Structure 1
């Protein structure tokens, strides 16, 4: 019976993920990886321990910015260890593995890590005394939101339901 590379890749991904808890904070043994640079989370332009107001309070931001990002990079490091991708940047790993179905895990981990960092890097904490950025919504946009959705709360509810 012939199985497609996608099915095999998916099964391999499931097997690999089952070995790592979703909130893994484990580190890879440095002895086996000491000859190359490991991918590590890049610093953010704000202090993650302070959270991002109502949007991502400190515990939620810690999960997304610290635990999840570190877990992705740990898995990427494990996946590329001993390969030609071991000394590549995250971006180079994405580009070099994008067309090779045998490198689907490296591509997925690198892509997820890059996207997560891009998302986090483009957020900014609200300025005191505000807990959000809602006060910065222009009157024109606010009127459109009310016209189309009834209120900002209703837009958020509809958006969350659709997501």
Structure 2
């Protein structure tokens, strides 16, 4: 399955993007300005020349070029193809600047089955950018405020590291594992671990396409390597199994706890990409856990701390432009 998936991605990178089915614009809709998506500039990549050097100790130049340059360009080209001449009513109430953001496309298409392809490509572009933007060339210190909250949430930084890596290593399939901050939470356990499979999104507005469960494989026993402390359920934003017909962990019990539209009220601060095309070239078929451990030593914790937005309590996250994968012509990116 891994080789088949890699083969499909390589073929896609070598061929032109084909025209895709999209919703025809309504004749009654007002004309909209065409917003073209571009591969965003990675400040850390320019500063440390990731194209020439790769990410030291994590990704070789070839692996970086494949996982970022080629993959992100493919996602952006597909987004431009999907959005060309299309009309998305949910975006009409947004400002032009907001229209240009890949994040807006993720949120607006998350609940529309007819826009599944648009969601998948927009979310994949957003998630991949989020991952690469948070990389450093060496170990970085964790800012004091962030470190204090992480210790409150996970009892120690070593516990967080072990649980995060074990969670990512246990994923039977590609996706992303996120460290998220619960919005407006001032008590302990502000931070939690969130899993999104494939192109699932951690964004609050895209709650219905979070895709945090692999229903074919997830059970308490499948999380090999976890120490399973007594407070582990509170550290994971979603239980890993929903079997049974009654009780808080049943499907019915989980459905009763769903929040209104807006969904999971969390702020993503960092993530790791577990798609095979990112790590397989450098780390080999059995090297996923080695890749994850090395990634932990390449986290730019200052980026994670900035994203937590301590002063605002997270209230401004939806309006910030930390990670924009698309922008209108003449629009400036803000980081």
Band of TM-score, shorter chain: 0.5 to 0.7
The secondary structure found in structure 2 opposite 1:120 is helix
Asked if 1:159 corresponds to 2:289, the answer is yes
Distance between the aligned counterparts of 1:23 and 1:81, measured in 2?
20
Q: TM-score, normalised by structure 1?
A: 0.59
How many equivalent pairs are there? 119
What are the Cα deviations for residues 12-56 of structure 1, in whole angstroms up to 9, with x where unaligned?
xxxxxx7x933248589xxxxxx7232111111223312111200
Distance between the aligned counterparts of 2:106 and 2:83, measured in 1?
12
Structure 2, unaligned runs of 5 or more: 1-7, 19-32, 92-98, 142-156, 163-224, 226-285, 292-335
Query: 2:17–2:81: 8 Å Cα contact kept in structure 1?
Result: no
Structure 1, unaligned runs of 5 or more: 1-17, 29-34, 127-132, 150-155
* Residues 55 and 93 (structure 1), Cα distance of their counterparts in 2 relative to 1, 3 Å cut: same
Asked if 1:23 corresponds to 2:13, the answer is yes
Query: 1:22–1:68: 8 Å Cα contact kept in structure 2?
Result: no
Equivalence for 1:80: 83
Equivalence for 1:53: 56
What are the Cα deviations for residues 92-135 of structure 1, in whole angstroms up to 9, with x where unaligned?
11111111000000000000000000000000123xxxxxx4x9
1:76 Cα shift?
A: 1.2
* Residues 123 and 158 (structure 1), Cα distance of their counterparts in 2 relative to 1, 3 Å cut: closer
Distance between the aligned counterparts of 1:105 and 1:81, measured in 2?
14
Query: 1:27–1:74: 8 Å Cα contact kept in structure 2?
Result: yes
Distance between the aligned counterparts of 2:109 and 2:56, measured in 1?
37
Matches within 5 A, 1:3-152: 21-24=11-14, 26=16, 36-45=34-43, 46=45, 47-49=49-51, 50-85=53-88, 88-126=100-138, 133=139, 141=158
